[in-house]
């Protein structure tokens, strides 16, 4: 049986009629940039999150950059970020001249180790960007307490965690603001690039909206120099359809993870854990093994796709060489980067597919 890592075509086929209709509508209306569908999506996603403001933009990386600017993070400021994430989390800092200060991840949940954050705070620290990595929420109680004590801004990176909960609160509504990506493979994905910012702070929301549309507040009223980072009508219309399925798809991902948890019994494979305060949305199902290279090869021979998220922890990437990050400062990230492996996980996985993958893993 051939098992893809994700199957976006199967998902499209399951909602084809609605998607095709949505696309046709946008074409008929020629509402390509901005317009009704974008406004609807901002409203719908704000309702979904239970937050005051959602501002759509072109992609998740832009949303991080725009939020940094809106929160007035600037040249020379230090921002605390986890040692394992997609590069956008630290890369965005370059746009305002801020510097990433990496913190090692938790042993059990792969997210930033909140116990280590305070030791990295200096007089230059302005913000923390917690990442709810793989769909597992960070310990937001600890992070918000530290932020309050040191007067820091918290921008949640929710690119992998749509609909995840920490302590019964939806992630993206706990920090001062939050960033979402709707890259096609994300739990809520468009059919191209798309992103959004969310916040209960209406002044931050107003500035984000201005920045993302050339600094305009109303047509030709340029209050500042901004940029072009808008969501297009086609993506918004697609997201409006898919948002209606997000809860159902999230439940399916959680069921698949449960199924994997029950089925996989191989002492060479460590399964992901869930914090008691967290509702994990399994953007990725990440296992650990000391024999990763041979496992990847073995899965490939059995026609099962797998992937590594991510093969090099952020502090050790060539682009951060000048920061002189030492391996001894990030023992967990350093170890886990060589052990983590993401196995197939998508809401449309069939029982047969889940059981085949588990069975093959057990025979490794
Ligand atoms: C995908 C992702 C982003 C960036 O999103 P894009 O829409 O691809 O720019 C940011 N942070 C994390 C953790 C991501 O996984």
pLDDT (tens digit per residue) in 228-244: 999 999 999 999 999 99
Q: Is the C-beta atom of 250 inside 6 A of ligand 1? A: no
Ligand 1 atom with minimal separation from the 186 CA: 1
Contact 179, 157 (CB under 8 A): yes
Residues 296 and 198: their CA atoms lie apart, in Å, by 38
Find where tokens 């993506």 sit. 235
Contact at 8 Å (CB) between 364 and 301?
A: no
199 CB under 6 A from ligand 1?
no
Cβ of 90 less than 6 Å from ligand 1: no
Evaluate: CB of 86 within 6 angstroms of ligand 1: yes
Atom number, ligand 1, closest to the C-alpha of residue 160: 15
- Give distance in angstroms: CA of 58 to centre of ligand 1: 12
Q: Give the 3-state secondary structure of residue 289.
A: coil
CA Rg value for the chain: 20
Within 8 A by CB and 6+ apart from 94, the residues are none
Q: Is the CB of 178 under 6 A from ligand 1?
A: no
DSSP 91: H
What percentage of the chain carries pLDDT values higher than 70?
100
> Residue 195 pLDDT > 90, yes or no?
yes
Cα dihedral 308, 309, 313, 314 sign: positive
- The helices-and-strands tally (H runs, E runs) of the chain is 12, 12
Residue 89 has pLDDT above 90, yes or no: yes
Atom of ligand 1 nearest to the CA of 61: 9
How many angstroms separate the alpha carbon of residue 359 from the centre of ligand 1? Answer: 32
| Nearest-angstrom CA–CA distance, 108 and 111 | 8
pLDDT single digits (tens) 345-363: 999 999 999 999 999 999 9
Q: Is 194 in the pocket of ligand 1 (CB under 6 A)?
A: no
Flag whether pLDDT at 34 surpasses 90.
no
Do 341 and 289 touch, CB atoms closer than 8 A? Answer: yes
List helix spans (H) across 104-228.
140-150, 202-212
Indicate the helix (H) or strand (E) that contains 244.
Answer: none
Check pocket membership of 177 for ligand 1, CB cut-off 6 A.
no
Residue 221 CA to ligand 1 centre (angstroms): 31
Instruction: Calculate the average pLDDT of the chain.
Output: 97
The token duo for 78 is 């230090």
Q: Quick count: other Cβ atoms within 10 Å of Cβ 296? A: 17
131 CB less than 6 Å from ligand 1? yes
User: Rounded to a whole number, what is the distance in angstroms from the first to the last CA of the chain?
Assistant: 17
Whether 63 lines ligand 1, by a CB cut-off of 6 Å, is no
**pLDDT digit string, tens, across residues 269-302:** 999 999 999 999 999 999 999 999 999 999 999 9
- Reading the block at residue 112, the tokens are 């930033």
* Pairing of β 153-157 and β 177-181: parallel
Contact 160, 131 (CB under 8 A): yes
Please indicate whether residue 159, judged by its CB atom, sits closer than 6 Å to ligand 1: yes
Residue 7 has pLDDT above 90, yes or no: yes
pLDDT at 265: 98
pLDDT for res 166: 98
Torsion 191-195-199-204 (CA) sign: negative
Q: What is the mean pLDDT of residues 94-119?
A: 98
| Mean pLDDT, residues 182-192 | 98
CA of 161 to the centre of ligand 1 (A): 11
Whether residue 261 is predicted with pLDDT greater than 90 in this model: the reply is yes
The encoded tokens of residue 121 equal 């705070």
Q: Quick check: 283 and 135 in contact, CB under 8 A?
A: yes
Helix 351-362 / helix 246-263 crossing angle, nearest 10 deg: 30
Q: What's the mean pLDDT in 126-139? A: 98
Q: Which atom of ligand 1 sits closest to the CA of residue 133?
A: 13
Pairwise CA distance, residues 281 & 194, whole Å? 20
130 lines ligand 1 (CB under 6 A): no
């Amino acid at each position: 049986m051939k098992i893809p890592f994700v199957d976006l075509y199967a998902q499209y086929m399951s909602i084809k009629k609605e998607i095709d209709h949505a696309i046709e509508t946008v074409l008929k209306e020629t509402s390509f940039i901005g317009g009704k569908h974008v406004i609807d999506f901002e409203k719908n996603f704000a309702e979904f999150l239970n937050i005051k403001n959602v501002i759509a933009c072109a992609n998740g990386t832009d949303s991080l950059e725009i939020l940094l600017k809106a929160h007035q993070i600037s040249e020379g400021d230090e921002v605390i970020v986890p040692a394992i994430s997609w590069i956008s989390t630290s890369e965005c800092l370059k746009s305002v001249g801020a510097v990433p200060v990496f913190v090692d991840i938790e042993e059990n949940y792969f997210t930033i180790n909140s116990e280590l954050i305070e030791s990295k705070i200096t007089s230059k620290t302005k913000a923390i960007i917690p990442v709810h990595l793989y769909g597992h929420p960070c310990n937001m109680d600890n992070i918000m307490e530290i932020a309050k004590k040191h007067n820091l801004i918290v921008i949640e990176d929710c690119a992998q965690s749509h609909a995840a909960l920490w302590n019964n609160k939806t992630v993206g509504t706990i920090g001062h603001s939050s960033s979402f990506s709707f890259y096609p493979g994300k739990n809520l994905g468009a059919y191209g690039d798309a992103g959004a910012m969310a916040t209960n702070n209406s002044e931050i929301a107003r500035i984000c909206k201005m920045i993302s549309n050339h600094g305009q507040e109303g047509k030709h009223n340029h209050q500042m120099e901004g940029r072009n980072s808008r969501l297009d009508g086609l993506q918004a219309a697609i997201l409006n359809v898919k948002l209606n399925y997000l809860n159902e798809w999230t439940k399916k991902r959680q069921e698949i993870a449960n199924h994997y948890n029950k089925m996989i019994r191989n002492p060479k494979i460590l399964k992901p854990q869930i914090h008691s305060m967290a509702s994990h949305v399994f953007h990725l199902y990440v296992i650990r093994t000391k024999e990763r290279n041979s496992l990847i090869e073995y899965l490939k021979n059995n026609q099962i796709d797998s992937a590594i998220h991510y093969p090099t922890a952020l502090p050790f990437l060539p682009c951060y060489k000048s920061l002189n990050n030492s391996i001894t400062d990030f023992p967990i990230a350093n170890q886990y980067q060589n052990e983590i492996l993401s196995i197939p996980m998508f809401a449309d996985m069939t029982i047969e597919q889940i059981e085949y993958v588990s069975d093959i893993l057990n025979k490794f």
